[in-house]
Structure 1
Amino acid sequence: MSRTQALLLTLLAMIAFAGNSLLCRLALQRTGIDPASFTSIRIISGALALWLIVRLRGGTGGAKSASGNWPSALALFAYAAAFSFSYVSLPAGTGALLLFGAVQATMIGYGLWTGERLGRRQTLGLIAACCGLVGLLLPGLSAPPLHGAVLMLAAGVAWGIYSLRGKGSGDPTRVTAGNFLRAALFTAGLSAAMLPWASLDSSGVGYAVSSGALTSGVGYAVWYTALRELRATSAATVQLSVPVIAALGGIVFLGEPITQRLLVASAAILGGVALVVAGKQSVK
């Protein structure tokens, strides 16, 4: 694969990841679908898309690598459910920023817990990111709804756990397909529990299918293909673009405002995380 192809695939993957936020917010803001139904349709659509991609590619590895596992599927389900319910109240850009910050915090925290140590510049970056997150969540007229913010932070922690569990587990597309299939069972239980509040319409279902099949299923497949050509630090740093793309999409497609608080918090969080992931950690 050429460098140009890798960069193009990376850009498409980042747009897909930001698209998840936009599609979820569009569905829950402008259609009648409920968050539990959106979650179930998204996961089932993603499972079908990934299964088809694995079949078309032939995949690599044995049956074990294709099956996934229940703990990872539970983390995937927790991410998807909290993600959907949080976007009932959160703007697209704010949600993506909170999600990204929580994912990176979880993975950085795990690294510190397992013996990695940060340099001075990385420590300053971590402090800046934490201050940005606190500043974003402090009470005020422009603060995001606390309930939605907590749910999105939980979604980020769940996705961070899912990502950590997936390291070195075989062909990532096959493993993700297996985990999506297993997570579909959890979403069926969620939908059954929330049946009295269920609500569907054609537009909402369309957004959910697009989120599952395209920006999740195809998006992950594209990302894993591009990931083979990226260094670890490059892969972590390029994801800084996702909240920015989501915020721009929120302005264009949803008419969402960009507040001064969000701009300052974004600069602190994204800049701080960039300092952390761009440096080299040492093991004590």
Structure 2
Amino acid sequence: MRPHRLNGMTKLRLFLLTAFAMLPLAANSWLARAALRDTAIDAASFTSIRLASGALMLWLLVWLGGKVRSGSGHWLSALALFGYAALFSFAYLSLTAATGALLLFGAVQVTMVALGIRGGDRPDTIQLTGVMLAFGGLLGLLWPGLHAPPLAGALMMIGAGIAWGIYSARGKGAGDPIRVTAGNFLLTLPMAAILSLITLQGASVDLTGAGYAVASGAITSGLGYALWYTVVPLLRAATAATVQLSVPVIVAIGGVILLSEPITLRLALATVAVLGGIGLVILERQRRQP
């Protein structure tokens, strides 16, 4: 049989759907930064509301899906998910949306490459060059100087990226991705409650901040992940990975338009280095695969 080929209209629809799926991933950074910079909500409350609303939306999607699907949450995966969400929120107390997204994305990809090496994947010279280029871009962004981001916030965002990289690696082959993600979100709620209790003295929530947190959890996380999991099976693995390179760029553009954030030369050069390095790794991995 001849392989099925997508016609022009189907390709256009897939392209538009994929482009649309990138917006929720980027919007998480815009919502978090806007909430933690411009409203009274504290980082712990933002995290708890985001995780609770995300769990509610994802389980609603599972229920609406009807048929029983395989997969469930796991406490270690939930811990990684909670670590990502909490560090992400606290980091955006001081980082711009663009800087945070680049640090997060770079840390996620470097972590997944490192986990691949640990699992027996031996990168070649081109892939190692890509990793070093991406790592150098992150290092250049953090190097002390006039436009360096706050170190504490940067380290927390890198930690969030490492946690998300571990969560992503653990999720491969775990079952239906929406059901598994819903289960993991549910398991984060006791952790979020403990965080809120620990930080209760500094807790502060206003209507606008809570609205941003609900939007981040229910829409850009819950519905956003569901949309992405719908698109991914229609894309080649390399395409799915490569298209995510656009997220930090979308965040940076949105940061300028929506949040009036500046784009520094340091950030622009770091973005080119990090995304270029990760692109080399992804494309070379695809070339090596049969």
Partner of 1:35: 43
The more displaced of 118-127 and 206-215 is 118-127
**Which among 102, 114, 117 is matched to residue 109 of structure 1?**
114
Q: Where in structure 2 are the equivalents of 1:112-191 lying within 5 Å?
A: 112-191=117-196
Supply the distance in 2 between the matched residues of 1:94 and 1:160 (Cα, whole angstroms).
18
TM-score computed with the length of structure 1 as normaliser: 0.96
Q: Deviation at 1:61?
A: 2.3
- Over the aligned positions, Cα root-mean-square deviation in angstroms equals 1.4
Partner of 2:3: none
Equivalent position amino acid for 1:12 in 2: F
TM-score computed with the length of structure 2 as normaliser: 0.94
Supply the distance in 1 between the matched residues of 2:148 and 2:196 (Cα, whole angstroms).
30
Q: Deviation at 1:127?
A: 1.6
SS at match of 2:285: coil
Supply the distance in 2 between the matched residues of 1:219 and 1:59 (Cα, whole angstroms).
21
State whether residues 17 and 216 of structure 1, in contact with CA within 8 Å, keep that contact through their aligned partners in structure 2: yes
Partner of 1:264: 269
Q: Deviation at 1:121?
A: 2.1
Partner of 2:87: 82
Equivalent position amino acid for 2:236 in 1: R
Supply the distance in 1 between the matched residues of 2:123 and 2:89 (Cα, whole angstroms).
34
Equivalent position amino acid for 1:274 in 2: G
Q: Where in structure 2 are the equivalents of 1:85-100 lying within 5 Å?
A: 85-100=90-105
Supply the distance in 2 between the matched residues of 1:124 and 1:59 (Cα, whole angstroms).
46
**Which among 2, 20, 34 is matched to residue 26 of structure 1?**
34
Matched, 1:68 2:77: no
Q: Deviation at 1:120?
A: 2.5
The more displaced of 186-195 and 219-228 is 186-195
Structure 1 residues 191, 128: closer, same or farther in 2, change over 3 A? same
Deviations 1:147-169 (A, max 9, x none): 00000000000000000000001
Structure 1 residues 139, 59: closer, same or farther in 2, change over 3 A? farther
Supply the distance in 1 between the matched residues of 2:68 and 2:34 (Cα, whole angstroms).
36
State whether residues 59 and 171 of structure 1, in contact with CA within 8 Å, keep that contact through their aligned partners in structure 2: no
Q: Deviation at 1:8?
A: 2.4
State whether residues 12 and 219 of structure 1, in contact with CA within 8 Å, keep that contact through their aligned partners in structure 2: no
Q: Deviation at 1:212?
A: 0.3
> Identity over aligned residues, as a percent?
59
